[in-house]
A and B are shown apart, each in its own frame.
Chain A
Amino acid sequence: MAGQEYKKTSERDEENAQTPPSDPAVAPAAAQTHAATEETDDLLDEIDGVLESNAEEFVRGFVQKGGQ
C-alpha cells in the first residue's frame, strides 16, 4: 500500500514537477541537486584561483595583430 502511494507520487512528480515535494521518496533527487550546486560552487571557486590576477589589465593587454 505504502509502496503504491510512493510510486504514484513519484510518477506525478516526473510528469509535472510543480510544487517542491516534501515526500521523503524524492530526497535523493534533492540531494543530487544539492551535490550539483556544491560542485558548481567548487568549480567557480577553482576558477577564481585559476584566473589571471588583475583581469582588467590582462584583458586590455591582450592585443593581437591581424591574421587570416
Chain B
Amino acid sequence: MSAVRVMGAETEYGIHAPAQPGANATWLSAQVVNAYAHTTGQRSAGGGEARWDYSDEDPLADARGWSVPRHAAHPSQLTDAPRYSEPTALTAAQIAQEDAGEDSPDGEDQDDAAPSALMMNLVLGNGARLYVDHAHPEYSSPEVTNPRDAVIWDAAGDQVALAAVRWIAQNTSLPQVNLYKNNTDNKAVSYGSHENYLMPRSVPFGHIVSGLTPFFVTRPVVCGAGRVGLGQDGAGAGFQLSARADFFETEVGLETTIRRPIINTRDEPHATADKYRRLHVIVGDANLSQSANYLKFGTTALVLDLIEQGLAPVAEIHEPVEALHAVSHDVSLTQKMRLTDGRRLTALEVQWLYFEAAAQQAHRSGADSTPGGDGHTAAVLQAWEQVLTGLGRGVDQVSRTVEWAAKLSLIQQYRARDSLNWSDPRVGLIDLQWSDVRPEKGLYYRLLQRNRMDTVVSEGEIAAAVGNPPTDTRAYFRGRAISQFGPQVAGASWDSVIFELPQYRRLRRVATREPLRGTQKLTGELFDRHQDVEGFLEELLRSPS
C-alpha cells in the first residue's frame, strides 16, 4: 500500500485577450507557446522547436479491449495528428501567415526557422510538454513518482504560464493575454485538467471501474475547486464544489470532449504496452490549492493500490453520473446517495470508507510508519484524515486547505458585505479571477500572500522545477537532453527522444519506454561526461542498457 507511483498532470488553461475578445483562440494559444520559447531561448537554439513524436500515440485504443475506427471517431479524438483543431481553427500555415507581418520583437534573426512560423509544441527542459491543445495552451507535467512532486511540477506549469503572460505583456505588437487555471467559461464549455497514473496492465479494467467510480463521485468534497453557477452553462444560481462535475454525462467511455465519462478508457500507455496501462483521469478539477492538488493525486494513488490488491471497498453507487452532480451541488455535505446494496451514505461517508481501507492496509504493510515508510503514504493519509475530519465539522474548518471551501468562504464574505446575489457579475468575476495565473490579479494568490492558504511545497522547489526535471523518472533523460542538446533534438514524446546529427543521414530515436529508467542515477553521469551529442549518443547506444 503506497502513494508512490508514476503519475503526471495535464492542465489546459483558459485563455482570454480582454482587448480582443474575438481573437482566434488557437492563434492566441500558439502565442503563449511561442512566448515561452522566447523566454527560454529555445527558438534561437538551432532547430528550435522540438517536434512532438506522434508515432506511439493511439488515442482510439479503448482500455476495454477494442479500438474505434478513425472514420467513426469525433475529430477532436484524433489527438495523434499534429493538427486536429476544429475546422474553424486556423491551420499552422494560416497562423504563420497571420503572424508574418510582425517584426521580431527582440531583433533576433529568424532566418533558419520557417519564416516566423508559430510554434505549436515545445518540450521543456523540465521534461514537460507545452503545446496548443484544441483552443487552449496545455502544460503536461513530466512524469513524477509521488503526489508531492506532482504538486511541484504542476505548479511549475503555472509559472511557465505566468512567464508567457509576462512576455506577451511586454510585447506591444500582441494583445494582452490572460491565462486562467480553471475548467469552464460558465457558458457551457469545459476544458480539462487530467491526471495520469501508471498501472500494471494485469489489473482487469472492470475492477478499475468498480473500485474508482464511487471514489471519483465523492472526491469533489476533498479536491473540488469550487464553481459559481449550476449546470453546464452556469445559469442556475448558486455554488457547487466541483468545476467539472456538471460536464460529465456517462459512466465509462473513450471520449474526452463530448459525452465525458467518469472513467475514461483511453488506452495509450506511452510505455511498454504489455506491462503497463496509463490510467487517464479526466474527472478532476484544476487546483491552485496545493493541499487540494496533493490530496487529489495522493488519495487517488492510494485507491489505485487498493484496487490492484483487490481491497477497494464495495460501494456501488446507484446512477453515479447523477450522484456526481448531486455531490457537487450539495455544499452542506449532508445529502445521502443510494448504493445498489440499499445503503444510503453521504459523500463524506464514502470517502471515509476509502480512507479506512487505505489506512488499514498501510498499517498492515508498514507503509504508514513515519520512519521506515515510503516517505509519502503516511503524510497523504494524515492529510486525508485531517480534511475529512474538518469537513465533518464545517466548511470554515477547512478553508485553508480545501479549495472550494476557500473560494466559498471568500465569496460569502464579499456577498455579505455588498448584499450581492449569486448571479451578480462581481461574484462570477471572483470565481473567474480566482484562477488568474498572475499573483497580483489571481485571488487564490492574494489569499496565499496573506497566509490564508496552507502550502505543501516551497516556492523554491517550484521555481527549481520550472527548469529542472524530476530526477527519478525518464523525464530526467528527456529534460536533460533538451537542456543540454536542444539544437540537436529533432523531436520527443513521452517514450522517445529523437536526435538529429548533421553527419548522420538518419535520425537517431532513443526509446524511453520504461518510465522508471532514464533517471539521473542511470544517465546523469553519461550527460556529465559528454558535452557533444555525438559522443553522448555513441556511448548511450553502445551500452547494454
Residues of chain B lying within 8 A (CB to CB) of residue A17: none
Residues of chain A lying within 8 A (CB to CB) of residue B428: 55, 59
Whether the Cβ atoms of A50 and B135 lie closer than 8 Å is: no
User: Bound state CA distance, A61 and B194, in angstroms?
Assistant: 26
Whether the Cβ atoms of A50 and B450 lie closer than 8 Å is: no
Whether the Cβ atoms of A59 and B425 lie closer than 8 Å is: yes
Q: Which 4 A-B pairs have the closest CB atoms?
A: A67-B191, A65-B135, A64-B185, A56-B425
- B192 within 8 Å of A by Cβ? yes
Known A44-B414, A67-B134, A67-B135; contact A50-B191, beta-carbon cutoff 8 A: no
Which of B25, B414, B430 makes the CB contact (< 8 A) with A65? B25
- A33 within 8 Å of B by Cβ? no
Interface string of A52-64 (1 = CB under 8 A from B): 1001101111111
- B506 within 8 Å of A by Cβ? no
Whether the Cβ atoms of A61 and B425 lie closer than 8 Å is: no
Whether the Cβ atoms of B191 and A68 lie closer than 8 Å is: yes
Within 8 A of B (CB), among A33-60: 39-41, 43-44, 46-47, 50-52, 55-56, 58-60
Which of B133, B414, B429, B433 makes the CB contact (< 8 A) with A67? B133
User: Bound state CA distance, A29 and B244, in angstroms?
Assistant: 40
- B14 within 8 Å of A by Cβ? yes
Which of A41, A44, A59, A66 makes the CB contact (< 8 A) with B135? A66
Whether the Cβ atoms of A44 and B413 lie closer than 8 Å is: yes
The main secondary structure of chain B at its interface with chain A is mixed
Q: Nearest Cβ in chain A — how far from B133, in angstroms?
A: 7
Residue on A nearest B426 in the bound complex, by CB: A55
Cβ-Cβ contact count across A and B, 8 Å cutoff: 104
Residues of chain A lying within 8 A (CB to CB) of residue B136: 64-65, 67
User: Bound state CA distance, A19 and B257, in angstroms?
Assistant: 56
Residues of chain A lying within 8 A (CB to CB) of residue B307: none
Residues of chain A lying within 8 A (CB to CB) of residue B432: 58-59, 62
Interface string of B425-465 (1 = CB under 8 A from A): 11011101100000011010011001010000000000000
- Most chain A CB within a 10 A radius of its CB, from B25, B135, B189, B429: B429
Whether the Cβ atoms of B192 and A52 lie closer than 8 Å is: no
User: Bound state CA distance, A40 and B186, in angstroms?
Assistant: 28
Known: A50-B446, A66-B190. 13 other contacts (CB 8 A): A41-B417, A43-B413, A43-B450, A44-B413, A44-B414, A50-B433, A51-B426, A52-B429, A52-B441, A56-B425, A64-B185, A64-B187, A67-B136
Contact size class for B? 35 or more
| Chain B contact residues, CB within 8 Å of chain A | 12, 14-16, 18, 21, 25, 76, 86, 133-136, 184-187, 189-192, 194, 256-257, 282, 410, 413-414, 417, 424-426, 428-430, 432-433, 440-441, 443, 446-447, 450, 452
Residues of chain A lying within 8 A (CB to CB) of residue B440: 50
Q: Nearest Cβ in chain B — how far from A51, in angstroms?
A: 6
Which of B187, B417, B425 makes the CB contact (< 8 A) with A63? B187
Residues of chain B lying within 8 A (CB to CB) of residue A62: 14, 16, 185-186, 432
User: Bound state CA distance, A18 and B428, in angstroms?
Assistant: 37
Known A46-B446, A67-B190; contact A52-B18, beta-carbon cutoff 8 A: yes
- Most chain B CB within a 10 A radius of its CB, from A44, A46, A55, A64: A64
Whether the Cβ atoms of A50 and B134 lie closer than 8 Å is: no
Q: Nearest Cβ in chain A — how far from B181, in angstroms?
A: 13
Whether the Cβ atoms of B282 and A64 lie closer than 8 Å is: no
Residues of chain A lying within 8 A (CB to CB) of residue B185: 62-64
Residues of chain A lying within 8 A (CB to CB) of residue B194: 68
Residue on A nearest B192 in the bound complex, by CB: A68
User: Bound state CA distance, A56 and B15, in angstroms?
Assistant: 18
The main secondary structure of chain A at its interface with chain B is helix
User: Bound state CA distance, A51 and B450, in angstroms?
Assistant: 17
User: Bound state CA distance, A58 and B178, in angstroms?
Assistant: 12
The 14 listed contacts between A and B (C-beta, < 8 Å) are: A43-B410, A47-B446, A51-B429, A52-B441, A55-B428, A59-B429, A61-B18, A64-B184, A65-B25, A65-B86, A65-B136, A67-B136, A67-B257, A68-B133
User: Bound state CA distance, A41 and B452, in angstroms?
Assistant: 14
Residues of chain B lying within 8 A (CB to CB) of residue A58: 18, 425, 429, 432
Known A47-B430, A51-B426; contact A66-B446, beta-carbon cutoff 8 A: no
Residues of chain B lying within 8 A (CB to CB) of residue A50: 433, 440-441, 443, 446
Known A47-B443, A50-B446, A59-B432; contact A66-B426, beta-carbon cutoff 8 A: no
User: Bound state CA distance, A52 and B135, in angstroms?
Assistant: 24
Residues of chain B lying within 8 A (CB to CB) of residue A63: 21, 185, 187, 189
Residues of chain A lying within 8 A (CB to CB) of residue B414: 44, 47
Residue on A nearest B12 in the bound complex, by CB: A67
Whether the Cβ atoms of A66 and B134 lie closer than 8 Å is: yes
Residues of chain B lying within 8 A (CB to CB) of residue A43: 410, 413, 446-447, 450, 452
Q: Nearest Cβ in chain B — how far from A63, in angstroms?
A: 6
Q: Nearest Cβ in chain B — how far from A36, in angstroms?
A: 11
Residues of chain A lying within 8 A (CB to CB) of residue B190: 66-67
Whether the Cβ atoms of A66 and B257 lie closer than 8 Å is: yes
User: Bound state CA distance, A58 and B443, in angstroms?
Assistant: 16
User: Bound state CA distance, A60 and B429, in angstroms?
Assistant: 10
Residues of chain B lying within 8 A (CB to CB) of residue A40: 413
Residue on B nearest A56 in the bound complex, by CB: B425
User: Bound state CA distance, A47 and B187, in angstroms?
Assistant: 24
Residue on A nearest B188 in the bound complex, by CB: A66
